[in-house]
A = this chain, B = another copy of it.
């Protein structure tokens, strides 16, 4: 089982922390600095056991995204990375003697776009970036560090984001609802997008159990408490219910479009 996730977001938005939380592990990662001259991507591949399945997970994270004073080239390295993985697959597919079944597929199955929890809406860089990526990868926007936003502000913020995405023609990933067995669960998930997530590498004792949490003087945010944030929904959507659909859409929709445009050149 291969699964590849690309995380895009400004430095310090909790990308590494969220990945550790989602996969319940401590991925090796050196904390990023804010002063890279251009956006880099760092990719790591890990072998994990997830729901009794052997998972070959590749996590790709942007480094320095949004930090430059001039952000015009922020997208180039991201788009290049996605296209390069399509290109490798295409080259393998076009071989006379090929081994697609054992080929290590590095195509990006989903892009988690981390939105800054300003409360006001999307930034220009968010809209421009997601618009460049929506025909190349399944885009899932998430509100990072959602413990910054109170319940009353959150619904307004989510509505504003969805409105801005729609009015700018940005296509985001939607969980499939044709299959009756998952239709209800999936349309419920779709109604909560963008998921407001909180991640943590720390644990706290709550009701005699050690749970992932962020402790503040005024209270403890429990990552897996659904009345605190949408972390559980994101994990459900990403890893449990829709991993197969994300891989299929990458192959049948995004890769096909790349291949068609590439072979028409």
| Residue A133, interface by CB 8 Å | no
| In the complex, chain B residues whose CB is within 8 Å of the CB of A214 | 150
| In the complex, chain B residues whose CB is within 8 Å of the CB of A216 | 147, 150-151, 218-219, 221
| Residue A190, interface by CB 8 Å | no
Min CB distance A1 to B, Å, is: 33
Which among B120, B148, B150 is the interface contact of A31 at CB below 8 angstroms?
B120
Min CB distance A77 to B, Å, is: 15
| Residue A220, interface by CB 8 Å | yes
| In the complex, chain B residues whose CB is within 8 Å of the CB of A69 | 70-72, 74, 124-125, 128
| Residue A91, interface by CB 8 Å | no
Min CB distance A62 to B, Å, is: 14
Number of copies: 2
Min CB distance A70 to B, Å, is: 5
Q: Cα distance A151–B202 when bound, in Å? A: 13
Q: Name the segment of A6-14, A79-87, A103-111, A249-257 touching the other chain.
A: A6-14
Which among B10, B35, B123, B222 is the interface contact of A34 at CB below 8 angstroms?
B123
| Residue A197, interface by CB 8 Å | no
| Residue A32, interface by CB 8 Å | yes
Min CB distance A228 to B, Å, is: 6
Q: Cα distance A216–B118 when bound, in Å? A: 16
Known: A150-B216, A218-B222. 8 other contacts (CB 8 A): A11-B118, A32-B120, A69-B125, A145-B148, A147-B148, A147-B216, A216-B221, A217-B225
